[in-house]
Amino acid sequence: MRMYDLIAKKKKGEELTTEEIRYMIGGFTDGSIPDYQMSAMTMAICFQGMSKRETVDLTLAMRDSGEVLDLSGIKGVKVDKHSTGGVGDKTSLALTPIVAALGVPVAKMSGRGLGHTGGTIDKLECFEGFTTGISDETFVRNVNEIGIAIAGQTANLAPADKKLYALRDVTATVDQMSLIASSIMSKKLASGSDAIVLDVKTGNGAFMKKFEDSVALAEEMVSIGTMAGKKTAAVITDMDQPLGYAVGNSLEVLEAIETLNGNGPEDFKEVVFALGSLMLQLGGKAQDDAEARSMMETVITDGSAKKKFAEFIEAQGGDASPIYDTSLLEIAKTEVPVVADCDGYVHRILAEEIGIACMSLGGGRETKESEIDLSVGIVLKKKKGDVVKTGDTLAVIYGNDSEKIARASELICHAYEIESTPAEKLPVIRKYIFSE
Ligand code: URA
């Protein structure tokens, strides 16, 4: 078999066989197929696409390129949750303790933020001492004893995807549906859970800006998961404005804790409940959505979800005291309001610009090596559909550097689209996708 022939075949729009895909991924992982040939192949895929069968084969080949975690030592139906990435997306922080408090074991791999989107690991590191660098044994023990463990993605988990993603990133071949779906699902399948719930974002701050593209991506991922023998479901959620009010690590942790106290923003709570409901149903703990929602309300009201969050933070070396006294969270002391310069209604808040504003305050990474300031961020005061009068505060910046604050302020002003006509408030949950 020759990679040259496979590139030529795909260029003509023909389907690659299972053996050819396995040969390609094996050779690319061990270095015998060079980057330039693989780049030509990904570009051919961008133009010609891949069939469902090819996409599944690519996913499984990438899954098998490294270690596939064995979580059989964990009792119960392990449910993983994955978000395609957004701004103000602190969902895992509130969601995982809620479902764990209800008996669904959560064995989760999470990532760090890059670019305008945040990452769960950075947020968890707001708790002093917290680490995701735990051994496989501790991971399994914590899930069995507490119900939650969150680890970072190890180098040996789907290494073919790691290499391919880096290549796609510099060859303008990231935004192809089958490549995105196989990339995400190869890692999810390698992390060993029994069921997967996907939060696919749609809108300005998301990977997929168009609703139809987000639906197609979600359908593709649900069908891959199902074909690989995992119970899989997806929710399409709105990212045409940040989720909740807080953007920035410590501020988002604060908002997640408030949600566990029963005082969370409506849109954020709805995303947590929609995903939590699927996790409880796939995990066999609830019969239907109504039952799942009532169970989730109970563990918030009786404090057990919050207690679970503290147990989890402590089990991974963190100081959980900010969960009970949020004044202990380190939040930047300089507060600067961003005010409206016209009357009207908020039509859109460009989430990507808000994410970039947070990054420019020092709260996000431009490169993987960047150090971040966990204390900075933005709290929105107006959201889509709200009435605005000249001089009203649109958002408050929490920063540590006046130049960075000035830059963030400009970006936030630009992010708010205010018009004179009333704005329609779309629901945050746009669609559910289940396997056929
Ligand atoms: N996230 C991934 O892990 N892979 C992609 O291709 C896109 C987003």
Alpha-carbon distance of 298 to 92, in angstroms, equals 19
Mean pLDDT over 275-299 rounds to 97
Q: Is the Cβ atom of 250 under 6 angstroms away from ligand 1? A: no
E strand or H helix at 430, and its extent?
strand 429-434
Atom of ligand 1 lying closest to residue 184 CA: 3
Q: Indicate which residue of 22, 63, 82, 383 is catalytic.
A: 82
Alpha-carbon distance of 96 to 114, in angstroms, equals 22
Residues composing the chain:
436
247 pLDDT exceeds 90? yes
Residues with Cβ within 8 Å of residue 50, at least 6 apart in sequence: 16, 58, 178
Cross-strand partners of 246: 379
Write 401-409 long-range contacts (CB < 8 A, 24+).
Answer: 401/361, 401/362, 402/334, 404/360, 404/361, 404/362, 404/376, 405/334, 405/336, 405/361, 407/357, 407/360, 408/357, 408/358, 408/360, 408/361, 408/378, 409/336, 409/338, 409/357
Specify the 3-state DSSP secondary structure of 64: coil
Report the share of the chain in percent with pLDDT over 70: 99
Ligand 1 center from residue 409 Cα (angstroms): 30
**177-225 residue pLDDT tens:** 999 999 999 999 998 899 999 999 999 888 889 999 999 999 999 999 9
**pTM of the full predicted structure?**
0.93
284: pLDDT confidence band, cut at 50, 70 and 90?
very high
Average model confidence (pLDDT) for the chain?
A: 94
Task: Pick the residue whose CA is nearest to atom 8 on ligand 1.
Answer: 180
What are the two backbone dihedrals, phi and then psi, of residue 238, each rounded to the nearest 5 degrees?
-70, 130
Ligand 1 center from residue 180 Cα (angstroms): 5
Q: Which two tokens stand for residue 287?
A: 């019969």
Ligand 1 center from residue 165 Cα (angstroms): 7
Q: Is the Cβ atom of 432 under 6 angstroms away from ligand 1? A: no
Cross-strand partners of 202: 238
Q: Which two tokens stand for residue 30?
A: 């061990």
E strand or H helix at 247, and its extent?
strand 246-247
Q: Is the Cβ atom of 165 under 6 angstroms away from ligand 1? A: yes
Q: Which two tokens stand for residue 430?
A: 């746009």
Q: Indicate which residue of 161, 199, 238, 267 is catalytic.
A: 161
Residue 314 identity: E
Atom of ligand 1 lying closest to residue 179 CA: 6
Q: Write down the pLDDT at residue 153.
A: 78
CA 169, distance to chain mean position in Å, is 18
Distance set, CA 210 to CA 117, 182, 337 (Å): 18, 20, 32
Q: Which two tokens stand for residue 373?
A: 């300031």
Q: Indicate which residue of 39, 178, 182, 183 is catalytic.
A: 183
Q: Write down the pLDDT at residue 316.
A: 97
Ligand 1 center from residue 175 Cα (angstroms): 9
- Closest to 248 (Cα-Cα) out of 345, 94, 354, 134: 354
Q: Which two tokens stand for residue 145?
A: 């004893």
**Residue 22 is a catalytic residue:** no
Mean pLDDT over 302-319 rounds to 98
**Residue 347 is a catalytic residue:** no
C-alpha atoms less than 13 angstroms from C-alpha of 426 in its C-beta half-sphere: 15
435 pLDDT exceeds 90? no
**131-176 residue pLDDT tens:** 998 888 899 999 999 999 998 877 789 999 999 988 998 888 988 9
Q: Write down the pLDDT at residue 73.
A: 87
Question: Got the DSSP string for 79-95?
Answer: EEEEE---SS--HHHHH
Residues with Cβ within 8 Å of residue 390, at least 6 apart in sequence: 340, 341, 342, 343
**Residue 183 is a catalytic residue:** yes
Alpha-carbon distance of 37 to 24, in angstroms, equals 10
* Ligand 1 pocket, mutate which of 42, 169, 184, 187 (most atoms under 8 A from CB): 184
Mean pLDDT over 257-267 rounds to 97
